[in-house]
Structure 1
Amino acid sequence: MAIVRFQPYREMEDIQRQMNRLFEDMITPTNRQDGVDLAFTPAAEFDETDDAYQLKLEVPGLEPDDINIEATAEAISISGERQSETKAQRQTRSEFRYGKFQRILPLPGRIKHQDVAADYKNGVLKLTLPKADEEKNRVVKVSLNHS
């Protein structure tokens, strides 16, 4: 039987590498949708006013032509692709995410999908989704029958 020398620092380095790999996979998973690898999922923020829903997505580094927005009465779909600007032969390190992305967000109520307004500034996409008239008037008086 061979004697193996215990090297605690090497063991700790191995554990650190495994933990780094685990956390990196948790933070930036590779998504798959419809057989296509998605590079990232943009962060979203959703607000509601009396007349409309407000949706913001973080999509920095894109031109407006790189973003595709599709709206139905019940959901909104945002997709696009971020491409690398550099064509370097050797890249030392990059934490940027390139490739395709897609978010499909179901809405809590119906919207006038033909009146959706979009604005893109400083890497933030802002959508104004006007509520359908029947959604604005959701409060209904219920009469009580006496027996």
Structure 2
Amino acid sequence: MNTLMNVPKNGSLANTNLNTNFQNWSNWIDDIFNTNLPTERTSNFNKMFSSPKVNIKEEEEAFVIEMSVPGFKKSDFNITIDQQTLSISSKSEESNEDKNYNLKEFTYTNFKRNFTLPETVNTDDIDAKYSEGILYLNLPKKEEAKQKPARTIKIS
């Protein structure tokens, strides 16, 4: 589990000095927006919130996870299952060869997403494919969990 932030022992995250005037607050905000990003402080913040976005849908035969991860290779992913927890992660090493960027708006970041699966998933038959920046995982349902067609019951 990732820790989003550490709360001090007194339970307060902000300095609550009531004598702070608006001008100082305004200067602080200006300083933030005039800073060359990312700094060490903001790069940790960006990493916490850079998890890939997912779509999860339930079909008759399976659950399907679609994860948006453009720019990766199949070999960048590590997909594991432990009990009913599916983990998808990637660790990429950023090349330091060319540091002479005029503008650099993106980097490839590491990520890890965990999903708790329902007991109805057949974890032995999960498969994955990567195509055009989308990682697809097919999580088939156990036979007893599949929806059975309606049937007519005769009265004897």
Where 2:110 maps in the other structure, the secondary structure is strand
Distance 1:105 1:19, change over 3 A: farther
The corresponding residue for 2:65 is 55
Q: Give the whole-Å Cα distance in 2 for the aligned partners of 1:64 and 1:72.
A: 21
- 8 Å contact from structure 1 (residues 72, 113) kept in 2: no
The corresponding residue for 2:16 is none
Paired residue type of 1:117: D
Q: Structure 2: which 5+ runs fail to align? A: 1-22, 149-156
Shift of 1:116: 1.0
Figure out how many residues of one structure are paired with residues of the other and give that number.
118
**TM-score normalised to the size of structure 2?**
0.60
- 8 Å contact from structure 2 (residues 60, 147) kept in 1: no
Distance 1:16 1:107, change over 3 A: farther
Q: Give the whole-Å Cα distance in 1 for the aligned partners of 2:117 and 2:73.
A: 26
Where 1:65 maps in the other structure, the secondary structure is helix
Give 1:85-96 correspondences, 5 Å limit. 87-96=97-106
Q: Give the whole-Å Cα distance in 2 for the aligned partners of 1:87 and 1:127.
A: 34
**TM-score normalised to the size of structure 1?**
0.63
Distance 1:66 1:13, change over 3 A: same
Residue 65 in 1 paired to residue 75 in 2? yes
Q: Give the whole-Å Cα distance in 1 for the aligned partners of 2:128 and 2:137.
A: 5
Q: Structure 1: which 5+ runs fail to align? A: 1-7, 32-38, 139-147
TM-superposition CA deviations, 1:74-119 (whole Å, max 9, x none): 2311011233356213333322233321101112443111211211
Percent identity at matched positions?
27
Q: Give the whole-Å Cα distance in 2 for the aligned partners of 1:64 and 1:57.
A: 13
Structure with the largest fraction of strand: 1
The corresponding residue for 1:130 is 140
Where 1:82 maps in the other structure, the secondary structure is coil
TM-superposition CA deviations, 1:14-72 (whole Å, max 9, x none): 63453687xx96xx6333xxxxxxx8311111000121000011111111011111124
Q: Give the whole-Å Cα distance in 2 for the aligned partners of 1:47 and 1:122.
A: 19
- 8 Å contact from structure 2 (residues 125, 140) kept in 1: yes
